[in-house]
């Protein structure tokens, strides 16, 4: 395991993150304490130090498990949690990115995690009802109090994140240091604006669902074959349409050619395609995690990257397609008026 800095900060994080959404049995795809402990120990033994959870994962059980597991190694862990999603449907203020929910959510998370600070706090999703001035000032207050070391944002439009960090820079507040987004061979639309924006601002990109909820694990092929099912088929959240199954087929073909598993190929693609990205591995068992960790030894050639690029390509859309034509015209010294 190698390490890199978290965005423009000096914080050292492992090149893979462990997602703890499967810690707890409240949801059908999770595991109990014993297996969750094995997953945690396996990750730490491999040199991993970046742990990602949320206050709503398995009803808070994920945070409680981690608080127990980290009892003797908290200082060595880079612990990230999230807030914003509802923790009580009866209370309108138990959700959202506003100051009241942020403060209450952090205090509750700290109790469950048995710690007095979290390294990274993500705003779990963009809340269009709360002004970004309130969000960023509230983050800055928690940073000054020492309860949060680095702010981060998840699942938000690129222009919102750019606005927030520009605002923080002008006001002298703590900016977002990381961006968490869905990113995989199946979900590449983030390459249009989100990833370029993150690179511009120097944000670390934490990629959730890099295996597309298991679709890229090798269990599913266009032939319809499935090598086993979970208690709840997470792939129901990702369409098994013709395009996505073609991508799954291509991943399996590359894997067979180089002696790696499809999961390792899919994770390696994310790491090689976006060097700033940290795949979040959400393994349910220690065996799954050990397999996924071996992606660090799986290197794809330019030809294999190109093969996967072609089958998974997405249209950049406007204005990117338009600007590409303009730039190509300028580069080729072409009369732009004849291009349209």
Those residues whose C-beta lies under 8 Å from the C-beta of residue 306, and which sit 6 or more positions away, are none
Cα separation, 38 vs 22, in Å, equals: 12
| Neighbouring-strand partners of residue 220 | 226
Cα separation, 114 vs 96, in Å, equals: 24
Contact 117, 149 (CB under 8 A): yes
At CA 293, angle to CA 243 and CA 49, rounded to 5? 120
Cα separation, 57 vs 323, in Å, equals: 42
Contact 137, 168 (CB under 8 A): no
Q: Give catalytic residues, as residue numbers.
A: 57
Tokens of 145: 């109090």
Say how many C-beta atoms besides its own lie within 10 A of residue 251's C-beta: 32
Q: Is 176 left (phi over 0), alpha (psi -120 to 50) or beta?
A: beta
Contact 121, 139 (CB under 8 A): yes
């Amino acid at each position: 395991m190698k390490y890199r800095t978290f965005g423009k900060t000096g914080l050292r994080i492992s090149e893979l993150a462990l997602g703890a959404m499967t810690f707890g049995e409240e949801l059908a795809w999770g595991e109990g304490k014993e297996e969750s402990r094995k997953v945690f120990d396996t990750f730490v033994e491999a040199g991993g130090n970046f742990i990602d959870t949320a206050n709503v994962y398995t009803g808070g059980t994920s945070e409680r498990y981690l608080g127990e597991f980290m009892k003797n190694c908290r200082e060595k862990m880079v612990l990230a949690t999230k807030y914003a999603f509802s923790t009580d449907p009866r209370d309108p203020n138990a959700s959202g990115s506003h100051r009241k929910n942020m403060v209450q959510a952090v205090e509750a998370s700290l109790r469950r995690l048995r710690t007095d600070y979290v390294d990274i706090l993500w705003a779990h999703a963009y809340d269009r009802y709360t002004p970004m001035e309130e969000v960023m000032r509230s983050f800055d207050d928690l940073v000054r109090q020492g309860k949060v070391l680095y702010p981060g944002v998840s699942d938000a439009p690129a222009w919102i994140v750019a606005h927030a960090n520009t605002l923080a820079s002008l006001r002298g507040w703590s900016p977002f240091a990381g961006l968490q987004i869905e990113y995989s061979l199946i979900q590449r639309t983030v390459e249009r604006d989100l990833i370029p924006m993150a690179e511009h601002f120097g944000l670390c990109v934490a990629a959730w669902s890099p295996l597309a909820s298991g679709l890229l694990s090798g269990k599913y092929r266009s032939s319809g074959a499935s090598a086993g099912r979970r208690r709840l088929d997470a792939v129901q959240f990702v369409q098994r349409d013709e395009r996505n199954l073609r991508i799954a087929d291509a991943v399996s073909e590359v894997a067979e050619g180089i002696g790696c598993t499809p999961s390792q190929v899919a994770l390696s693609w994310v790491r090689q395609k976006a060097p700033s990205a940290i795949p979040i591995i959400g393994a349910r068992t220690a065996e799954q995690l050990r397999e996924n960790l071996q992606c660090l030894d799986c290197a794809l050639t330019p030809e294999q990257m190109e093969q996967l690029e072609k089958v998974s390509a997405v249209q950049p859309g406007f204005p990117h397609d338009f600007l590409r034509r303009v730039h190509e015209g300028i580069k080729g010294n072409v009369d732009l008026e004849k291009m349209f």
